[in-house]
Structure 1
Amino acid sequence: MAASQQHRFSGPVTVFQERRLPEPASPAGYSALIDTYGLAVPLPRTLSATGERHRITQEGGWRIMTPRHAPHPTLEGHLTFALKYEGLDLAVLKRLFQTAGPGPVEELVRDKPTGSYARRIWFLYEWLTGSALNLPDAQAGRYVTVLDPELQWGTKGETAPRYRLKNNLPGTPDFCPLVFRTETLSRFIDLDLPQRALDVVADVPRDVLARTAAFLLLKDSRSSYAIEGERPPQDRIQRWGRAIGEAGRQPLDHEELLRLQRIVIGDGRFVKLGFRDEGGFVGEHDRETRMPLPDHISARHEDLQSLIDGMIAFDRNAAQALDPVIAAAILAFGFVYIHPFEDGNGRIHRYLIHHVLAERGFNPPGVVFPVSAAILEQIDDYKQTLESYSGRLLPLIEWEPTEKFNVRVLNETGDFYRFFDATPHAEFLYGCVQRTVEEDLPNEAGFLRRYDEFRSQVESFIDMPERTIDLLFRFLQQNDGRLSNRAREKEFAELTDAEAERIEAIYSETFAPKNQVEGLSE
C-alpha cells in the first residue's frame, strides 16, 4: 500500500510518550498508529507492543506480545492488529481516519474487498467521519459484527448490507463509550443481583418494605448532596428524593434534564439554569490571580447539542440491550464528563444511574438502591474512577482563561466525550450496586423488623407514644444498650429501676451488636 508506506513505524523502544515499557518492544496496534500519525488522543488504558519473548506478558499498562503477533508495518497491518487484539477505540480511530484521509482506506478495501477486517475498517471510517468512500457496495464476504463481542460489550446489531456487516455498536456517532469484557464484570453479572434483591424482599412484610424503601430513598438523596459537600435544607433533600423515586418513569430528553436541574438547584437566583453557553471546568481558582486550576474540563458548549442527543439516543436504544448496570455506567459517567450545566451535574449524574436501573426493572418495584450512599462510603475509589479518564483527557485540551475566570477551549474535543473506555466505571458501579443489594437492603429491612419487635415488647408493659419510644431507642443505641444517668434523670425520670432494666434487656435481646444496626442511627 503506497499511501501507508509513507509513514515509518518505529522499532523497539523502552519509553513511549513518557510511559516506560517493561522491556524493549515495538509499539503495535493503537500505540504504533498514535505515534506514527502523531494523533493527539487519550492513550488507551492498556497499550500493546511486540517483544522478543515467546510468551505474552502484561505489566504497567502494557501488553507485550510475541514476535509471531508482530503486525505488518503498514496502516493495514496495525489497524488489523488493533481490531483483532485490542478492540475498538473509537476516539483513536476517528482521529486516525481524519489524519490519514480516505485514500489509504479505499486502497485497503480494494486490496481485500471480502476481508472481514477490511470491511470493518471501511464501515468504521464512514460511520465515524460521516463521509462515504468511493467504493461500491460489498458483493461477497461472510457477515461479521463490527465490534468483537468477545472483547467488548455490544448489542445484537443491525444489518449493514453495504459492508456485509452487523452493526452492533452500542451507540451512535454522537455518543458511544465502550466497555471491555473483564473477569470482574463477568463475576458481577453471574451474581444475578436483581434476583438476590427479590429474594431479600420476598419475606419482608409489606409495611416494613415500604418503610425500608422510604429510608433508602432518603439515604440516597442525602448522600448525593454530601458527595458534593453540600448540606441543603431537609425539604430540598426530600424533594430530590421524590425525584429519584420517580426515576425511569419519564423518557430522557432535553426537557427532562432541565427539569431535573431545576429540582436539584431549587433557588436559581445565583445559578444560571439551563445548558451552558460558555466553557466549564471542575477545579479551583488561584487565590491571588483567580486563574482557573482545572482538574477536569467540560465539553465545549458548542458540542453539547450533539452530545446530549447522542446520550438520549443511547438511553432509548442501546441501553435497552446492554446489561443494565453497564448501560447505567456509560450514561451516567458520560454525562458527568460532559458536564452540560453550570451546577447540578453530579447529582443528575447519579440520578441517571437510578433512571437506567429503574427503567430496566433491575431493582424490586418501589425500592431504590442507595447507590449514592455506597459511593460516599468509597469516595476515594469514586474519585479515582472519575480520574481514570479525566486524568488522561486533561493534557490534550488546549484552553485559555476568560475574563470571567472561566476556561475557553481552543481545540476540537467533542470526540473525547463521545468515545471513552467506560470499563473502570462499570466495574466500580457494579461494586456499589452489589453493596446496596447485599448489605444496605437486608440490613435496613432487618433493622426495621428488630425495631418493631423492640417497640412491641416495650408497649406490652408500658404505655409510651411512638416518638418517645424512638427517643428511648436512640438513648440506648448511643450508650451501648444502657440508659445513661442523664436520660434516667431527665427524659425518662418516670421509669422505675425495674422498668429501665427490663427495657435494657429487651434492647439487648432484640438487636445485634452496634456495628450491625443501621437505619434510624443515621
Structure 2
Amino acid sequence: MVLAKRAKFFDEEVYPEPEAELVGYAWLINEFHLRVPAPNSICAIVPAKNAKRSKGRWLIWGSRYQPKAHWFAQLTFALKYEGVDLAIMRSLFGVLVIEDITASIENEITGSYSRRIWFFYEWITAQDLPIKDITNGNYADALNEELQFGCAKTKVSRQRINNNLPGVNGFCPLIRKTEKLVQHIEENLDQKAAKNIGNVHSDLLARAAAFLLLSDSKASYTIEGEAPPHNRIERWGKIIGQAGMQPLTVEEIERLQEVVIPDRRFILPGIRCVGGFVGEHDRVTNVPIPEHISAKPEDLDELLAAYLSAYELMKSSGFHPVLAAAIIAFSFVIIHPLEDGNGRIHRYLIHHVLAESGFTPKGVIFPVSAVILEKIEEYKAVLEQFTQPRLQYVEWKPTEDNNVHVTNETADLYRYGDMTCQVEFLFECVKETVDTVLPEEVLYLERYDEIWNYVNNRFDMSQKSLSLLLNFLRRSNGQLSKRAKTKELSALTDVEVKEIESKYQEVFSLD
C-alpha cells in the first residue's frame, strides 16, 4: 500500500505542485520563522527548468531561477522578482547576526542588490553597518519602478542608491505597478474631469457641487450605519467642501472628530489613549470578538508623526495623488487613531489629498463616499484584504471594560504593507465619478431646468407647487400618482397632466 504524500501548505495555501519549493520572501519567512504577514503573491520553484507562470496566489518559477539556500541569495531573488517588502526585511534583519549581514554585503560590495540590501538595512533600522562608503560606480534605485511605484529620487552617496521610496522609515506602505493602475494613470482622470466641467455654466456647476457634497456626506454616515439629523449631514458636507484648505496635522484630525461627533459625553475625544478594535462582543460574556485591532495607543504618537511625514514627502516629490490618497486614507482607518469617527475621517482624507494636490477640479468635490456606498461589499472586502492577514499577529487579552489590550509589538503591522488592492479600488471609484457621476448630475440639472422652464411658462404655478410637481414626477418615473392628481395637484386637468407627463418623459428620455 502506497501512502499519498501529505499536502504542504504555506500561509494556508496548498503548494501549487507536489515538488514545489518556496523561494524569495516565502522562503525567508519559512526558514527564519518570521512573524510577519506573507506577500499577496507567493513564489515557488518547480523542477521544470524554464517554467514561469501563475496559479492563484502562486508565482511559479523554473529551476533555472533557483537561488542558493542562504538569506542573502533569497532576498536578492525577492528584490529582483517580487519587489520590496519592508515588513519582511525589517523582521529578517531583526533575527540575523550583524557579522553575517556585513560579510554577505562586503562579499559583493559593488553589486546593485548588495548595495540595496545594505541601504535597506540602514534605512529601516536607523543603524549603520561597519562598512566604508562606496566612492564610485553608478547609482541604483532602491525601488524597482518596473515593479512598484516610487517617488522622486534622492541620492544616498553612502551606498550610491537613489532613494525613491514613497515614505519614511517609520511609515511606508507600497504599491505594485499593475497593468490596471498604469492604465488608470494614463487616462489622466483629473484632466478629463476638468474638461468635462469646463463647458458647464458656473451656476449649474455650483448647484451640482452642492448636491454632490450633501450626497457624499449622507453616504459617509450611511456607510457607518448612522442616520443623523439633516443639520449634522449639512455640517459635515460643508467640512468636506473645505477639504484641502487646512494642512493635515494631528490637531486638524482632532478638529475633524469634533465636527463628526459633536456629543462628546460617551467617548474620549482626541487621539486614543486606550486600546481599540472593530468587531462585536460575545452576547453572553461580552468579551470582544475583533475583526480588526487598532494600533496600540503607546505607538500612536510615533506612527502618526511618521504617517504625516510620509504624506509631506509624497506631496513634495510628485507621487500620483490617487496613490497618495489611497495610502493616507486607508492607513488612517487601519491605524484607527481615534476612539470614534475614524471611518468618516478616513473618507474625508480622500477628498483632502485629491483637493490639496489639485487633482479635483476647483469648486467640485468628488462624491467618493456615494460611489463607495454603491460598492459597499467590495469596499468591505478591500478593507479586510489588508486587515485580516494581520489579525493573527496581534496578541491581546480582554480588559475589564471589555476592550482589548495588545500584549506584543505590533507597530510594523501598520507601518508597512502592500496597498495595491486599496489603490485599485479607489481609482475605480474616482473613474466612476469622472465618467459617470459628475456628467449624470450635470445632465440631470440641465434636464430639470428644461422641464422647470417648460411648466413655469405654461402654468401660473408657485415655485413650491412646481417643485412638488417635479418631485412627484421624479419619484414615479415621469407619471403622477393618483394621490398627486387628486390631492396636492388636483387643480391640473387630465389633459394638462398628460401634457406635462409627456414632456417630462421626452426631456428625461424615458420610455
Q: Do the aligned residues in 1 keep the contact of 2:152 with 2:319 (CA within 8 Å)?
A: no
Residue 35 of structure 1 is matched in structure 2 by 30
Of the three residues 21, 24, 41, the one matched with 2:15 is: 21
Residue 401 of structure 1 is matched in structure 2 by 398
**Helix, strand or coil at the partner of 1:372:** helix
Pairwise mapping of residues 410-429 of structure 1 onto structure 2 (< 5 A)? Answer: 410-429=407-426
Residue 92 of structure 1 is matched in structure 2 by 88
Runs of 4+ in 1 over 3 A off after TM superposition: none
**Helix, strand or coil at the partner of 1:294:** strand
Q: Do the aligned residues in 1 keep the contact of 2:149 with 2:176 (CA within 8 Å)?
A: yes
Residue 328 of structure 2 is matched in structure 1 by 331
1:134-178 Cα shifts (integer Å, max 9, x gaps): 111112332011111111011121111111111111000111000
1:485 deviates by 2.3
1:135 aligns with 2:121: no
Residue 107 of structure 2 is matched in structure 1 by 111
Residue 61 of structure 1 is matched in structure 2 by 57
**Helix, strand or coil at the partner of 1:460:** helix
Aligned length: 503
Of the three residues 482, 495, 498, the one matched with 1:498 is: 495
Q: Do the aligned residues in 2 keep the contact of 1:14 with 1:25 (CA within 8 Å)?
A: no
Q: Do the aligned residues in 2 keep the contact of 1:275 with 1:340 (CA within 8 Å)?
A: yes
**Helix, strand or coil at the partner of 2:238:** helix
Residue 237 of structure 1 is matched in structure 2 by 233
Residue 305 of structure 1 is matched in structure 2 by 301
**Helix, strand or coil at the partner of 1:219:** helix
**Helix, strand or coil at the partner of 1:22:** coil
Task: Report the AA paired with residue 57 of structure 1.
Answer: R
Pairwise mapping of residues 463-474 of structure 1 onto structure 2 (< 5 A)? Answer: 463-474=460-471
What is the alpha-carbon distance in structure 2 between the residues aligned to residue 45 and residue 57 of structure 1?
16
Q: Do the aligned residues in 2 keep the contact of 1:13 with 1:26 (CA within 8 Å)?
A: no
Q: Do the aligned residues in 2 keep the contact of 1:218 with 1:238 (CA within 8 Å)?
A: yes
Is the deviation greater in 289-298 or in 17-26? 17-26
Pairwise mapping of residues 343-382 of structure 1 onto structure 2 (< 5 A)? Answer: 343-382=340-379
Structure 1 residue runs without a partner (length 5+): 1-11, 515-522
1:48 aligns with 2:43: yes
What is the alpha-carbon distance in structure 2 between the residues aligned to residue 374 and residue 476 of structure 1?
25
Is the deviation greater in 17-26 or in 236-245? 17-26
What is the alpha-carbon distance in structure 2 between the residues aligned to residue 301 and residue 399 of structure 1?
13
1:55 deviates by 1.9
Residue 209 of structure 2 is matched in structure 1 by 213
1:455 aligns with 2:449: no
Residue 441 of structure 2 is matched in structure 1 by 444
Residue 485 of structure 1 is matched in structure 2 by 482
Task: Report the AA paired with residue 95 of structure 1.
Answer: S
1:223 aligns with 2:219: yes
What is the alpha-carbon distance in structure 2 between the residues aligned to residue 248 and residue 103 of structure 1?
48
1:94-147 Cα shifts (integer Å, max 9, x gaps): 010011132221111211111111111111111111111111111233201111
1:44-95 Cα shifts (integer Å, max 9, x gaps): 1001111112221211211010111111111111010011011011000001
Task: Report the AA paired with residue 65 of structure 1.
Answer: W
Q: Do the aligned residues in 2 keep the contact of 1:105 with 1:121 (CA within 8 Å)?
A: no
1:379-418 Cα shifts (integer Å, max 9, x gaps): 1111110111111000111111011100111111101100
CA RMSD of aligned residues (A): 1.3
What is the alpha-carbon distance in structure 1 between the residues aligned to residue 265 and residue 208 of structure 2?
36
1:15 deviates by 2.2
1:13 deviates by 8.0
1:361 deviates by 1.0
Residue 183 of structure 1 is matched in structure 2 by 179
